[in-house]
Amino acid sequence: MGWLQSLVYVVALTALAVPLGEFMARVYLGRATTLARVLGPLERLTYRAAGVREEDEMGWKRYGRSVLVFSVVGFLFVFLLQRLQPLLPLNPAAQTAVSPDSSFNTAVSFVTNTNWQGYSGEQTLSHLTQTLALGVQNFVSAATGMAILVALIRGFTRRTSHALGNFWIDLTRSTLYILLPLSAVLALILVSQGVVQNFDPPAAVELTDPLQTPEAAAVTQQFLSQGPAASQVAIKQLGTNGGGFFNANSAHPFENPTPLSNFLEALGILLIPAGLCFTFGAMVGDRRQGVSLFAAMLLILVPAMGAVHAAEQAGTPALAAAGLDLSGSDDQPGGNMEGKELRFGIAGSALWAVATTAASNGSVNSMHDSYTPLGGLVPLLLMQLGEVVFGGVGSGLYGMLMFVIVAVFIAGLMVGRTPEYLGKKIGAFEMKMASLAILGPCFAALLGTAIAVAFDSGRIGVANPGAHGFSEILYAFSSAGNNNGSAFAGLSANTPFYNTALGLAMLVGRFLPALAALAIAGSLAAKRSVPAGAGTLATHDGLFVLLLVGVVLLVGALTFVPALALGPIVEHLGAAH
Amino acid sequence: MWRELRPASVLFIVLTLLTGVAYPFLVTVAAQGAFPEQAAGSLLKREGRLIGSLLIGQPFDDPRYFWGRPSLTGPVPNNGAASSGSNRGPTNPALAEELAARVSRLREDPAAPRLPPADLVTSSASGLDPHISPAAARFQVTRVATARGLALDAVIALVEAHVEGRTFGLLGEPRVNVLRLNLALDDLH
């Protein structure tokens, strides 16, 4: 049954991504849509107030500067709201001010679309901070990534021009016409399944079987945290944010109560990143180009799903030694159920773990820290590949396009021709920038891990002994450096050391690739277009898809195999004895 | 830089009002209008008192009740205000010890099957899992029947009546809601 569920998932994803991709292309090309007719007056009013003119297009430097200024404004707001939340309304659980280092970490985390969580949602944040600080960044950090991608696409389509479009317009349209309507629909469906949506304090309920404790009186009540979860969960899935409303994220029954809500939330993870492949094809005027990128991503995603499912269903020697029935059937999921929810079982957990790390979503419906060594290796590697297998909204595809540039360059070297892609010659500048975009996050992940294991303040956060402890640190920096946000959550990361170090890794992982992509966009837009000839490498066929997948896997493997050998691989080999 | 500050701040304010105020507010209004019970947490009421949520597992330790999945939330298990998994790694000796202790407690019932189902012994991701597998419920029927002095067949029938299948025969896992089953068990008397 598990593989059938995954098959239906991939089919549903493709069926929804194609029309959504076409719709998004219309939005970015400024063509009429029904939504634009309804919300158009609001959009134009916003531009007038902000002093934005549609015909005022930006070069890459001004586009990049606008991204940075907007991100700084967002950072300051999220930081201050966390510090001031006890003085502000909508705080029924009386949360106190968040510490400065945790506020820094969380502000960076949500502005960079990472949504790493050093804090526990229901124990730290007021409803106001959740909606007004984090909820807003869920939208606008996603929209920022989409805008940067659109600017890069314009770099391919424009000729001898410096104009890449207007960041403010791309940002507003992404939010208004794509993220908001999709989120509203998903949120309401999720409420129908049982996701909570209210501004209430925790509900006190009486326990049927009061809990006897040796020291104190019996516990007779259970307090159930409440809040506006559905509206936040919808956008955290769709915007590849992943920051949970509750600590247990999408494993919490109030965030993800049923198998259907699980299926839809998992679809939400990959929907927009997959759709953007088709947006790309439509905007560059050759839909086959989008299809080939989508195919390359699927070609990594599907085997990864199979691998995690197999590893988790097989369980571990420790589970077998404890004398458990690990066989999967219609009577029980079996396998490694430590840190997994029963309603999702092995199949629903494995599918999610792969989707959330292939995309830079980072929400979890099971605890990756408790995965088998090999089942945990796959999500770790998917992040380390640079979050380009669908990846973050916008950032995933512009990351993949960096690999495309490297792939056509390598192909060009093989046949001794100047590499070109979509009619644009790829020169030394583009290669330098693509290398920077690819290597920046790798550098943040590995250097951060090295520093953390070298110092007591890093090692002290580890929850599990041995090689697994190293994996926890490697996972944290791979997650932060690639803006994923999921964790081997045993690591105690809410410390000044980790809050600062992971915050810096997130900044590198977000802004280095983003600015490099914009620089490439600027350089490409200025070039003439060369007509395709007999010797032009076809970038829409199966051969190129395989080449691209090979480049992504090779760069990832060469960079991270030594580190993986010290963590999950040695743990797997050790566990067998 | 200053040229970008006006559009940055104006757009930030507008988008904040739109996505941080209007969106959650309108979703709340629509949700509470269309699905009031779900929006409030699927709470169960009896005689005017709140006795749980259909979605949140409660701790059950008495042999007269079906037990749910182990929970490692702090400071008490099944803490609905502090969801959390165990985050035990697969090779952590502490995990092996916990598994052994839970298995030996389950084996105190001599009539139970030899191998307990994995989900009954491993802790859930949220620490609030409301479900166990049908196998995990069947594993406990003799203990519950003996402790309550009920006919075994009656308890088995109650369990089978509480088995929920996969959604559309495809999604998720067959399961039993422990709180619902235990409340029905109390109603048998």
Interchain contact, A73 vs B8, CB within 8 Å: yes
> What is the percentage of chain A residues whose pLDDT exceeds 90?
93
Residues of A in contact with B116 (CB under 8 A): 323-325
Task: Considering only the beta carbons, identify the residue of A209, A343, A465 that sits closest to B92.
Answer: A465
CB pairs under 8 A between A and B: 414
**Mean pLDDT (whole number) for A333-348:** 98
**Mean pLDDT (whole number) for A367-396:** 97
Q: Are A130 and A232 in contact (CB under 8 A)?
A: yes
- Closest chain A residue to B98 measured between Cα atoms? A322
B183's tokens: 């409340």
Band of residue A535 on the pLDDT scale cut at 50, 70, 90: confident
Span A153-169, pLDDT tens digits: 999 999 999 999 999 99
Q: Are A318 and B96 in contact (CB under 8 A)?
A: yes
- Closest chain A residue to B138 measured between Cα atoms? A331
Q: Tell whether B56 lies on the interface with A, counting CB pairs under 8 A.
A: yes
Span B4-57, pLDDT tens digits: 999 999 999 999 999 999 999 999 999 999 999 999 999 999 999 999 999 999
Span A481-506, pLDDT tens digits: 999 999 999 999 999 999 999 999 99
Band of residue A577 on the pLDDT scale cut at 50, 70, 90: low
Q: Tell whether B121 lies on the interface with A, counting CB pairs under 8 A.
A: yes
Q: Are A82 and A103 in contact (CB under 8 A)?
A: yes
Report the largest interatomic distance among the alpha carbons of chain A, rounded to a whole angstrom: 83
Give the per-residue pLDDT at B22: 97
| Cα–Cα distance measured from residue B178 to residue B130, given in angstroms and rounded to the nearest whole number | 6
- Closest chain A residue to B11 measured between Cα atoms? A50
Environment class of residue A412 by beta-carbon count within 10 Å: exposed (0-12), middle (13-18) or buried (19+)?
A: middle
DSSP A213: -
Interchain contact, B103 vs A315, CB within 8 Å: no
What 3-state class would DSSP assign to A573? Answer: helix
| Cα–Cα distance measured from residue A421 to residue A138, given in angstroms and rounded to the nearest whole number | 33
How close does chain B come to A13, measured CA to CA in Å?
Answer: 15
- Asked if this assembly's ipTM is beyond 0.95, the reply is yes
Interchain contact, A198 vs B28, CB within 8 Å: yes
Tokens 């779900």 appear where?
B38
| Cα–Cα distance measured from residue A193 to residue A349, given in angstroms and rounded to the nearest whole number | 18
Those residues with Cβ within 8 angstroms of residue B47's Cβ, 6 or more apart along the chain or in another chain? none
Nearest of B135, B154, B139 to residue B106 by alpha carbon: B139
Give the per-residue pLDDT at A122: 83
- Picking from A222, A267, A309 by the largest number of B CB atoms within 10 A of its own CB, the best residue to mutate is A222
Nearest of B83, B61, B62 to residue B72 by alpha carbon: B83
Span B156-172, pLDDT tens digits: 999 999 999 999 999 99
- Picking from B38, B50, B51, B131 by the largest number of A CB atoms within 10 A of its own CB, the best residue to mutate is B38
pLDDT score of A565 more than 90? yes
Residues B118 and B128 in one domain: yes
Span A425-455, pLDDT tens digits: 999 999 999 999 999 999 999 999 999 999 9
B162's tokens: 């509480």
Residues B9 and B102 in one domain: no
Give the per-residue pLDDT at A123: 87
Band of residue A230 on the pLDDT scale cut at 50, 70, 90: very high
Band of residue A533 on the pLDDT scale cut at 50, 70, 90: confident
Residues B79 and B167 in one domain: yes
Residues B6 and B29 in one domain: yes
Residues B86 and B113 in one domain: yes
Report if pTM > 0.90: yes
Q: What CA–CA distances, in Å, run from A266 to A143, A203, A362, A408, B137?
A: 20, 28, 11, 33, 29
Residues B11 and B34 in one domain: yes
DSSP A245: S
Task: Considering only the beta carbons, identify the residue of A171, A202, A338 that sits closest to B11.
Answer: A171
Residues B139 and B47 in one domain: yes
Q: What b-and-e string marks burial along A236-247, b requiring 16 or more CB atoms within 10 Å of the CB?
A: bbbbbbbbbbbb
Give the per-residue pLDDT at A77: 97
Interchain contact, A464 vs B9, CB within 8 Å: no
Interchain contact, B118 vs A4, CB within 8 Å: no
Residues B8 and B63 in one domain: no
Give the per-residue pLDDT at A576: 73
Q: What CA–CA distances, in Å, run from A557 to A4, A442, A542?
A: 30, 11, 22
Q: Are A263 and A169 in contact (CB under 8 A)?
A: no
- Closest chain A residue to B94 measured between Cα atoms? A464
Give the per-residue pLDDT at A374: 97
Residues B111 and B158 in one domain: yes
- Closest chain A residue to B40 measured between Cα atoms? A196
SS (H, E, C) chain B: CHHHHHHHHHHHHHHHHHHHHHHHHHHHHHHHHHCHHHHCCCEEEECCEEEEECCCCCCCCCCCCCCCCCCCCCCCCCCCCCCCCCCCCCCCHHHHHHHHHHHHHHCCCCCCCCCCEHHHHCCCCCCCCCEECHHHHHHCHHHHHHHHCCCHHHHHHHHHHCEECCECCCECCCEEEHHHHHHHHHHCC
How close does chain A come to B168, measured CA to CA in Å?
Answer: 9
Task: Considering only the beta carbons, identify the residue of A257, A337, A369 that sits closest to B55.
Answer: A257
Interchain contact, B28 vs A341, CB within 8 Å: no
Residues B5 and B78 in one domain: no
> What is the percentage of chain A residues whose pLDDT exceeds 70?
100
Range of the structural domain that residue B31 is part of: 1-40
The domain spans of chain A are 2-211+218-576
Q: Tell me how many domains chain B contains.
A: 2
**Mean pLDDT (whole number) for B174-184:** 98
How close does chain B come to A547, measured CA to CA in Å?
Answer: 35
| Cα–Cα distance measured from residue B37 to residue B33, given in angstroms and rounded to the nearest whole number | 10
Q: Tell whether B116 lies on the interface with A, counting CB pairs under 8 A.
A: yes
- Picking from A341, A474, A572 by the largest number of B CB atoms within 10 A of its own CB, the best residue to mutate is A341
Residues B26 and B103 in one domain: no
Task: Considering only the beta carbons, identify the residue of A51, A123, A230 that sits closest to B82.
Answer: A123
**Angle, alpha carbons B149-B153-B157 (nearest 5°):** 115
Give the per-residue pLDDT at A2: 80
Task: Considering only the beta carbons, identify the residue of A74, A253, A467 that sits closest to B126.
Answer: A253
Secondary element (H or E) of residue A206: strand A203-211
Residues of B in contact with A51 (CB under 8 A): 6-7, 10
Torsion of CA A525, A526, A532, A537, to 10 degrees: -70
Span B44-82, pLDDT tens digits: 999 999 999 999 999 999 999 999 999 999 899 999 999
Residues of B in contact with A188 (CB under 8 A): 27, 30-31, 34
Interchain contact, A248 vs B182, CB within 8 Å: no
Residues B8 and B66 in one domain: no
| Cα–Cα distance measured from residue B48 to residue B45, given in angstroms and rounded to the nearest whole number | 6
Residues of A in contact with B6 (CB under 8 A): 50-51
What 3-state class would DSSP assign to A362? Answer: coil
How close does chain A come to B125, measured CA to CA in Å?
Answer: 4
pLDDT score of A416 more than 90? no
Interchain contact, A50 vs B10, CB within 8 Å: yes
Q: What b-and-e string marks burial along B10-28, b requiring 16 or more CB atoms within 10 Å of the CB?
A: bbbebbbebbbeebbeebb
State the amino acid at position A490 in one-letter form.
G
